[in-house]
Each structure stands twice: as C-alpha cells, then as structure tokens.
Amino acid sequence: MIGKKANFLSLAATQGRTVAFGNGKLGTIIGIGKIGESLSNSIEDVYLVDGLKHNLLSVSQLCDKHNLVVFTSNHCLVVNMDIGNIVLRGK
C-alpha cells in the first residue's frame, strides 16, 4: 500500500473498497496499480490508499509471488526469482 500517486508506473482508479489497519481504522483504496523499476519489472496489485503517510510492504505476499526480499542497513531490494531482475529498490 502506498499513499503517493507519483510512485506508480501505472494506476487504475477504483472506488468503494477499503483496507483495515491494525488499530481498527479503515483506509479508502482510490487506485490499484504497478510500482517498480519498469512496467516489465514491477509489482502488481499495489493499492493507492487515500491519506496513507507511510508505504506498507508485505514481505510474505512478495515471497508468495516468487520474489526474494533482501534487507541491508541501507536499503531493501525485491528480486523476481522467475526472471532474476530487481523489481523494486527501497531505502
């Protein structure tokens, strides 16, 4: 889940969907799209959530989609294991 539209490579508007947070509050999903290095090296089905202040990453969902997630002291890399390419770099 991401809160900034500018982070998306592609984005389709949606309405009427929400996500629940651990504190019981709901967030409104205003779009679903792709983020990553390029359209061919990307993560699909990422939610644009209205007012979200921090990006939220589900490591288990990324791993379920054949990705390797590597954390270091400086960054995070997501590598698609099917093609061997980096699909996302984070700080």
Quick one: pLDDT band at residue 82, thresholds 50, 70, 90? very high
Checking if the pLDDT of 91 tops 90, the result is no
Print the domain residue range for 82: 5-90
Q: In what order do the strands lie in the sheet with 76-80?
A: 67-71, 76-80, 85-90
Count of structural domains within the chain: 1
Nearest to 4 by CA among 65, 48, 36, 62: 48
Checking if the pLDDT of 57 tops 90, the result is no
User: What is the predicted pLDDT for the residue at 72?
Assistant: 93
Checking if the pLDDT of 79 tops 90, the result is yes
User: What is the predicted pLDDT for the residue at 67?
Assistant: 95
